[in-house]
Amino acid sequence: PVDRLPEIQEARLKLPVLAEEQVIMEAVRENPCVVICGETGSGKTTQVPQFLYEAGYASGIIGITEPRRVAAVSMSHRVAKEMNLSTRVVSYQIRYEGNVTDDTKIKFMTDGVLLKEIQKDFLLQRYSVIIIDEAHERSVYTDILIGLLSRIVPLRNKKGIPMKLLVMSATLRVEDFTDNQKLFRTPPPVIKVDARQFPVTVHFNKRTPLEDFTGEAFQKTCKIHRMLPPGGILVFLTGQAEVHSLCRRLRKAFPFRKGADEETDTSETTRKFKKAKQKKPSLPRIDLDNYSALPVDEGDEDREAGIGDEEDEASDLDIGDDPSNAEVKADPSIPLYVLPLYSLLAPEQQAKVFRPPPPGTRLCVVATNVAETSLTIPGIKYVVDCGRVKKRFYDRVTGVSSFKITWTSQASANQRAGRAGRTEPGHCYRLYSSAVFGDFSLFSEAEITRRPVEDLVLQMKDLNIDKVVNFPFPTSPSAEALVAAEQLLVSLGALKEPPQTGRIKELKRAKLSCPITPLGRAMASFPVAPRYAKMLALGKQQDCLQYVIALVAAMTVREIFEDLDRPAGTEDESSKLTQRRARLTQMRRLWAGQGASLLLGDLMVMLGAVGACEFAGCTPKFCEDNGLRYKAMVEIRRLRGQLTNAVNAVCPEVAVFVDPKMTPPTEHQVVCLRQIVLTGLGDHLARRVQVEDVLDPKWKNGYKTALMDDPVFIHPTSALFKTLPEFVVYQEIMETAKMYMRGVSAVEAE
Ligand code: ADP
Ligand code: MG
């Protein structure tokens, strides 16, 4: 029996999903798989696990997967609180951290975590129920999990250890799961939760600002706040940097003195005020225990961050003496309580959005996509929607990736608008015209169709799914993408091409069913991309392993340097940026080493940076002083630990450990490291275009790759920019101003 507090019970009764408890539990009893659709905020995530618990499904663990870390952590806390149970019983597990115990009965986790568990125990015997949440987001792991579970559930039932599968979606568009004979022979029942959604009036802009939509969002929010009756405002932007910049502008326009009414420790607040007055640059405060690293694909909208990486408490208080204030006169008469919300925000900061704003203020949450369906913020009456999302795009042929801000889909825009009508009728202000909306695609595409799949293919082969083409994907990746993945894995030695018979049809089939090799199994146990996994698998030679681990961690985390090329708001800031750029350039030169090390290029710089930072104790100050992103460095530290464990598990005799005082590699080791890097990045080879071949000026200093017609370049900040070696391998190509190779290392011509 669950002993809930009266106020919790009262709040629960208002949730639409409560009305469907009987229907849902009956469907679950009678069917192995059930689909539940209900508007965001109807109570699916917080209540359905409780229904199952109370109906006696906690003989094993009730597992719930979330595509976003934010949701896994925050929902586990919420459900524990609602049920009046300890976090030993209602727990979470995300990539590097969790609070799961032997007593855990309800476990929230990211979808990647469950996939890893399936690798250890295909039948998931510790679980009695799996709930796949936010299935409408169509994240890659969610799709794969549904495919796998469509097989696991019948197997479990056949074995007499029954298991239930629930798929939950915020939209009614679930045909990819239900009308899919390959997936479920008998279509699972779909239960619709009718949410009491209040009408939302949608206002389109007459024109569509193409450039400065953050500025437009600022104007609109100011107008709403000045002219319209009380009610929270939720602004949708595309990334962390914009979120912070808008938060800052709004706080300056409508200052709200922190600590005045808030239930924070006032002495702490006064201290902060004093600190702010002294105008010393303050360092971000990050609680290591609350730090969480990214699963492979999550939080892309935060990836390019750099500006205001951490919320700088002091500068938020620093009202009034900044020249950039001039644009809007600060109006302290109507305080606005402004909060940011995005995937990488620390949990205690995230939790603020659920609390009522201080009396006499209006709540304004500036968010990325997280607020679209994962988290429901109470009391929102106005939504301001920029209509865009930031996504990582991959070129299917070349693998070139780039971040692009694109229009969202109509379905997403409507989800965003819906956030305004949760508690009373609301308004949604779209910063684009109705004509532009008409051109949006109806739905967002499943992620699996938009990215390379070599990591997924390797994971599946490790699960002994040899014919990945036959896998019951809710939406299948293209045959082209699957062939490319198998070919890459064959070239890395992870798969073996079966003997060829010569007949074209069979050849084609064989290409898509290569069995996994022992090397492939070892690679699959490392939680990094197959190219890097290969490096780890070969890292044993010449005592190079600790370097390979550090390097792979740095390459996986990406963006280890701060973006110092960002536009500066003030002259003061601008001169500081110039100084810091100079310092970073100097440090890069130092980290690049000398002699043989130089040829390892950008990878040596990364290794040097990781080594130096760790030597200095990985402090925020060291990072700030040397142009490194503190968050990235902490993530690298964690990943190094995790990779070290993984390598020791596969190969105990190497007994590698994380050495905080890692000395730079010897010349001999550098040679060895370059070979190891080449084995992983062999298909990322580029050759400098010979001077006599440069007919077209666009090829000057360009490199030719195997797959592209156009040249690629070494970036001016690269350690090899001046050397321009004849052959290089690169980590990835990013399209920014030009096609630039990143993570470049020189290869000896033979
Ligand atoms: P759904 O999964 O259907 O979108 P949820 O179960 O996430 O719905 O949310 C149900 C309700 O619980 C919402 O009104 C939401 O605001 C509230 N809620 C969720 N998390 C918290 C929290 N940490 N604190 C207070 N209220 C919360
Ligand atoms: Mg939910």
Which tokens hold the place of 133? 């949440």
Q: Is 43 in the pocket of ligand 1 (CB under 6 A)?
A: yes
How much is the average pLDDT of 218-232? Answer: 94
255 C-alpha to ligand 2 centroid (Å): 33
Indicate the burial class of 745 (C-beta count within 10 angstroms; 0-12, 13-18, 19 or more).
buried
pLDDT recorded at residue 653: 79
| Helix ranges restricted to H, 234-324 | 240-253, 266-278, 300-303, 313-317
Whose C-alpha lies nearest to ligand 1, atom 17? 376
Least trusted range by pLDDT, from 223-227, 450-454, 484-488, 502-506: 502-506
pLDDT recorded at residue 729: 96
CA 685 to CA 453: how far, in whole Å? 20
**pLDDT-based confidence at residue 286 (cuts at 50, 70, 90):** very low
Q: Is 426 in the pocket of ligand 1 (CB under 6 A)?
A: no
42 C-alpha to ligand 1 centroid (Å): 8
Which tokens hold the place of 290? 């609350």
pLDDT recorded at residue 703: 94
pLDDT recorded at residue 431: 95
Q: Is 38 in the pocket of ligand 1 (CB under 6 A)?
A: yes
**pLDDT-based confidence at residue 283 (cuts at 50, 70, 90):** very low
Whose C-alpha lies nearest to ligand 1, atom 23? 78
How much is the average pLDDT of 543-553? Answer: 93
Whose C-alpha lies nearest to ligand 1, atom 15? 376
Whose C-alpha lies nearest to ligand 1, atom 6? 43
pLDDT recorded at residue 218: 96
pLDDT recorded at residue 692: 66
How much is the average pLDDT of 573-602? Answer: 90
How much is the average pLDDT of 381-401? Answer: 82
CA 594 to CA 661: how far, in whole Å? 20
190 C-alpha to ligand 1 centroid (Å): 22
Q: Which residue has the higher pLDDT, 291 or 245?
A: 245
376 C-alpha to ligand 1 centroid (Å): 6
Least trusted range by pLDDT, from 350-359, 495-504, 738-747: 495-504
Q: What is the position in ligand 1's atom list of the atom closest to the CA of 46?
A: 6
Least trusted range by pLDDT, from 4-13, 365-374, 419-428, 497-506: 497-506
Q: Is 214 in the pocket of ligand 1 (CB under 6 A)?
A: no
Whose C-alpha lies nearest to ligand 1, atom 12? 43
312 C-alpha to ligand 2 centroid (Å): 30
321 C-alpha to ligand 1 centroid (Å): 39
Q: What is the position in ligand 1's atom list of the atom closest to the CA of 374?
A: 4
**Quick one: which of 196, 234, 198, 232 has its CA closest to 425?**
198
- 156 pLDDT higher than 70: yes
Indicate the burial class of 607 (C-beta count within 10 angstroms; 0-12, 13-18, 19 or more).
buried
Q: Is 284 in the pocket of ligand 1 (CB under 6 A)?
A: no
- Ligand closest to Cα of 17 equals 1
DSSP state of 402: E
Whose C-alpha lies nearest to ligand 1, atom 26? 354
How much is the average pLDDT of 310-316? Answer: 33
550 C-alpha to ligand 1 centroid (Å): 40
Q: Which residue has the higher pLDDT, 698 or 132?
A: 132
**pLDDT-based confidence at residue 358 (cuts at 50, 70, 90):** very high
In tens, the pLDDT along 687-746 reads 998 876 667 788 889 999 988 888 999 999 999 999 999 999 999 898 888 899 999 999
Q: Is 376 in the pocket of ligand 1 (CB under 6 A)?
A: yes
In tens, the pLDDT along 80-122 reads 999 999 999 999 998 778 899 999 999 999 998 999 899 889 9
pLDDT recorded at residue 276: 37
288 C-alpha to ligand 2 centroid (Å): 27
pLDDT recorded at residue 307: 30
464 C-alpha to ligand 1 centroid (Å): 39
CA 721 to CA 448: how far, in whole Å? 35
Q: pTM of the full predicted structure?
A: 0.80
At a CB cut-off of 8 Å and minimum separation 6, what does 554 contact?
560, 606, 607, 609, 610, 636
Percentage above 70 pLDDT, the chain: 87
DSSP state of 652: G
Count CB neighbours of 464 within 10 A. Answer: 9
Q: Ligand 1 pocket test: pick from 12, 21, 35, 46 the residue with the most ligand atoms within 8 Å of its Cβ.
A: 46
SS3 430: strand
In tens, the pLDDT along 611-656 reads 999 999 999 999 999 999 988 898 899 889 889 988 888 888 778 8
**Quick one: which of 468, 457, 467 has its CA closest to 520?**
457
How much is the average pLDDT of 492-521? Answer: 79
Q: Is 347 in the pocket of ligand 1 (CB under 6 A)?
A: no
- 300 pLDDT higher than 50: no
Q: What is the position in ligand 1's atom list of the atom closest to the CA of 74?
A: 23
Indicate the burial class of 211 (C-beta count within 10 angstroms; 0-12, 13-18, 19 or more).
exposed
56 C-alpha to ligand 2 centroid (Å): 22
Q: What is the position in ligand 1's atom list of the atom closest to the CA of 75?
A: 20
First to last CA, the chain: 73
**Quick one: which of 615, 584, 625 has its CA closest to 719?**
584
336 C-alpha to ligand 1 centroid (Å): 23
HEC sequence for 697-722: HHHCCCEEECCCCCCEEECCCCCCCC
Whose C-alpha lies nearest to ligand 1, atom 16? 376
Whose C-alpha lies nearest to ligand 1, atom 14? 41
Q: What is the position in ligand 1's atom list of the atom closest to the CA of 17?
A: 3
How much is the average pLDDT of 502-522? Answer: 78
DSSP string, 456-502: HHHHHHHTT---GGGS--SSPPPHHHHHHHHHHHHHTTSB-PPPP-S
Q: Which residue has the higher pLDDT, 251 or 323?
A: 251
37 C-alpha to ligand 1 centroid (Å): 16
Whose C-alpha lies nearest to ligand 1, atom 18? 376
Least trusted range by pLDDT, from 25-29, 297-301, 489-493, 712-716: 297-301
166 C-alpha to ligand 2 centroid (Å): 13
**pLDDT-based confidence at residue 594 (cuts at 50, 70, 90):** confident
How much is the average pLDDT of 553-559? Answer: 88
Q: Is 78 in the pocket of ligand 1 (CB under 6 A)?
A: yes
440 C-alpha to ligand 2 centroid (Å): 25
Q: Is 42 in the pocket of ligand 1 (CB under 6 A)?
A: yes
Contact 145, 111 (CB under 8 A): yes
Radius of gyration of the chain (CA): 27
- Ligand closest to Cα of 379 equals 1
Whose C-alpha lies nearest to ligand 1, atom 10? 43
- 427 pLDDT higher than 90: yes
Q: Is 41 in the pocket of ligand 1 (CB under 6 A)?
A: yes
Q: What is the position in ligand 1's atom list of the atom closest to the CA of 351?
A: 23
- 3 pLDDT higher than 60: yes
Q: What is the position in ligand 1's atom list of the atom closest to the CA of 193?
A: 3
- Ligand closest to Cα of 80 equals 1
Q: Which residue has the higher pLDDT, 414 or 345?
A: 414
Q: How much is the mean pLDDT over the chain?
A: 85
609 C-alpha to ligand 2 centroid (Å): 40
Contact 548, 673 (CB under 8 A): yes
Whose C-alpha lies nearest to ligand 1, atom 5? 43
